[in-house]
Structure 1
Amino acid sequence: MTLRAYPVRYLPGEDELVWTGGLGVTVRFTPGVEPLTMADEVDLLVVTPEDFSESLQPLVEHKDSYGVATRLVTLEDVYGGVFFEVRGRDEAERVKYFIKDAVEEWGVRYVMLVGGRNGGLLEEKWWCPVRYAHLDDGSNWEASYLSDLYFADIYNPDGSFSSWDTNGNDLFAEYSLMSKDILDLYPDVYVGRLACRNSYEVEVMVDKIITYETTAHGSEWFHRMVAVGGDSAPRAGDPWYEGEEENKAALSYMDDFEEVTLWTSDGSLSGPQDVIDAVSRGCGFLFFDGHGNPMNWATHPPHDEETWIDGLGVGDMRKLSNDGMYPVCVVGGCHNGQFNVSLLNLLKIYEGYQHWYSYIYKGEVSPESWAWWITRMAGGGAIASLGYTGLDWFATGDGDQDGIPDCTQYLSGFMHVNFFWEYGENGRRMLGELHGETVADYINAFFPTTEKLDYKTAEEWALLGDPSLMVGGYP
């Protein structure tokens, strides 16, 4: 059992500082009638449609050769009850129940979901099912967003299955004025997704993962970190350049890495070519913090909200020439990880002009999302990416008056900075653990909470990549 205490907390939504004068802890343990036991047979579970299974076989063999016991299960076998009893109201819930059984019967720690969008105009179609969280953040931008945390949060605190639909109305992770589902949110297994849309993308990812894990260790390029940022929220009287402050905080934990900063404040970030040049030298980590949509990432120069400086768009990524030198990419920005986008949205004029045009200005007509594009591209790009499937909310100023910019302490900034803390200070090396334990850190720090944005921040942070990836490769 791990107990973490946070006696002082700032509530951004209420602009309040709360503290306690003392803590008392009583632990009572009552064993269940049938204690939960775990096998130790499989480390990595790969869930994929049959169409991709042949292309994934070299990855299974590679993982096994490095001691990561891997089992590939097709969705057809999941739905057909080949291994376990089929339970669940829809395909996503059936997959989640299967993961639960695999955790309990096989000892699975990592789950790789393989499959992204598979067309669909009137209704989305998916190679591998997804779940949408239904939280209305009041932005009038979105009332739901993709959440793969659903597949990782298997259990309620009492050990029962976590449906994410405690009121039984088939709206999952609901948070509104009228209704709210009770969620645990702690990852019980480490989940990542290869959002592949065809066999070619699967083959690219298999090749990149094998190349990375067998060649990155001991390389000069891996021990370089590129951090990109600017003034995310230019406001009068605010001395902090949020993107750059998050970059600094993250870099402070990466002692063994050469720092390459691209910032608007010193002119080192003036456009996409600066990012292309830096990444093409090779780097182990790539950290963007600013603004985004499914097609682009950009930020502001200091104190200038009217001016945008582009960092990297999907159209620029083909110019990256870092073949074999792939970073783990953490991107702070709205919707960079929104992996449900499609060119098919251009055909939705039948929904009315205003709705149709919204797909365009929101960047939802991108063939694939920014975060997945940089990951699945051949000959360069990233080995994995972590980004937001919805609006990325961040803090500004120094509301808690501790002399530390709030952008590094709350909401998405907490996620980014603690991801690098988990690597640099806590010594985690498996990518899924880095992602999952950062989410757990967030929940430990801010829950229980009445701030809906805390729920959203945890739910929408997606890992697009191999959760069992050995960051930095194997010796």
Structure 2
Amino acid sequence: GNGKFAEWKMTGRDKIDFYPDVYVGRLACRNSYEVEKIVQKIITYETTTYGKDWFKKMVGIGGDTFPDPSDPYYDGELSILESKDYMEEVGVETTTLFTSDNTLTGPDDIINAVSQGCGWLNFEGHGNPMSWANHPPYDGDTWIGIDVTNFHKFSNTGMYPVCMIGGCHNSQFNVSILNLLKFGEIKDIYYKSEWSPESFGWWIVRMADKGAIASIGNTGLGYGAIGDNDDDGIPDTLEFYGGFIDGEFFRVYAEEGKDILGETHGTTLTNYIMKFPPMNDQIDAKTVEEWVLLGDPSLKIGGYPS
């Protein structure tokens, strides 16, 4: 071997099965202060969430992810509606923030909805390490969303959602403001927002007394499908790649009853691998590899009864 895990080249590829043997999550703390605050946040969640009305609420945020004139679907909004349908099976009510009906017009709409309390938070759109956004219908030039500089406005103390982030690079590793010192790469680093002090996916979790209890997102470029190219009457955005795996997480919780966070995450990965064998398609392989949990895998979703 050459020390490169899961290498995929024209001349050959490493053979791996991708199935999760253990449930893995990361608490990407950089100092003892962050450790102390996130541990206290987890304890608070598991001991106070059970039976609370706010846990039975979800905020779903989306738009027209791929505003192709030939595509009749608002991809991000469809993904939110799919998760809404699954969560209704277990009594969760969803507040939707959509670009198509002007309920999503900027970051304050997201801040206000989350600050009222929710047990679930679902973003479906585009991203980078610093921000998430989506488009109004058929308007690829307009971006509406939120970035890490807005996070301090959250005021949802004691009401921490499990957060799904559909978008590219939102949970990217090794981002740091110190990347600005790499002068030879400065244009690329600045454009890609790799100078964010911490990634979007971790920042929303590690905040003390606000934000999310855990997040799931992509460490790299995410993938989606548009249209209905297989002519089965189901939008391809729900059937393949990131659109499928994000929706499958909510189905696994609602229909398979997996309520330990790492098991919910791991079962979703297993189901994806069974449906789309990663060794047959490079994009399926990457979809599985980059979809990471930033949180405690032993977390009891919804907390324990006292």
Tell me the TM-score normalised to structure 2 length: 0.98
* CA shift digits 1:364-394 (9 cap, x unpaired): 0000000000000012000000000000111
What residue number does 1:382 align with?
212
> Is 1:195–1:339's contact at 8 Å kept on the other side of the alignment?
no
Matches within 5 A, 1:248-327: 248-255=81-88, 256-309=91-144, 311-327=145-161
Matches within 5 A, 1:78-89: none
Q: Distance in 2 between matches of 1:243 and 1:449?
A: 27
What residue number does 2:180 align with?
346
Q: Distance in 2 between matches of 1:178 and 1:202?
A: 44
Q: How many residues align?
A: 303
SS in 2 for 1:204: helix
User: Which of the pair has more CA radius of gyration?
Assistant: 1
What residue number does 2:250 align with?
420
> Is 1:214–1:473's contact at 8 Å kept on the other side of the alignment?
yes
Deviation at 1:237, TM superposition (A): 1.9
What residue number does 1:433 align with?
263
Q: Distance in 2 between matches of 1:265 and 1:461?
A: 27
The question of 1:331 aligning with 2:161 is answered no
> Is 1:339–1:372's contact at 8 Å kept on the other side of the alignment?
no
Structure 1: state its 5+ residue gaps.
1-167
* CA shift digits 1:421-473 (9 cap, x unpaired): 00111111000001000000000001165320000000000100000000000
Q: Distance in 2 between matches of 1:455 and 1:186?
A: 11
> Is 2:47–2:303's contact at 8 Å kept on the other side of the alignment?
yes
Specify which structure has the bigger relative contact order, considering alpha-carbon pairs within 8 angstroms and separated by 6 or more residues.
2
Deviation at 1:308, TM superposition (A): 1.1
The question of 1:229 aligning with 2:56 is answered no
1:203 to 27, 36, 53: 36
1:366 to 175, 185, 196: 196
Identity %: 58
Distance 1:211 1:304, change over 3 A: same
What residue number does 2:20 align with?
187
* CA shift digits 1:62-112 (9 cap, x unpaired): xxxxxxxxxxxxxxxxxxxxxxxxxxxxxxxxxxxxxxxxxxxxxxxxxxx
Q: Distance in 1 between matches of 2:287 and 2:231?
A: 23
1:218 to 27, 51, 61: 51
Q: Distance in 2 between matches of 1:434 and 1:448?
A: 20
What residue number does 2:78 align with?
245
Tell me the TM-score normalised to structure 1 length: 0.63
- Tell me which protein shows more helix as a share of its residues: 2
Q: Distance in 1 between matches of 2:165 and 2:176?
A: 20
Q: Distance in 1 between matches of 2:241 and 2:273?
A: 11
The question of 1:406 aligning with 2:236 is answered yes
SS in 2 for 1:423: helix
SS in 2 for 1:200: helix
> Is 1:213–1:473's contact at 8 Å kept on the other side of the alignment?
yes
Aligned partner of 2:99: which letter?
Answer: T
Q: Distance in 2 between matches of 1:318 and 1:278?
A: 14
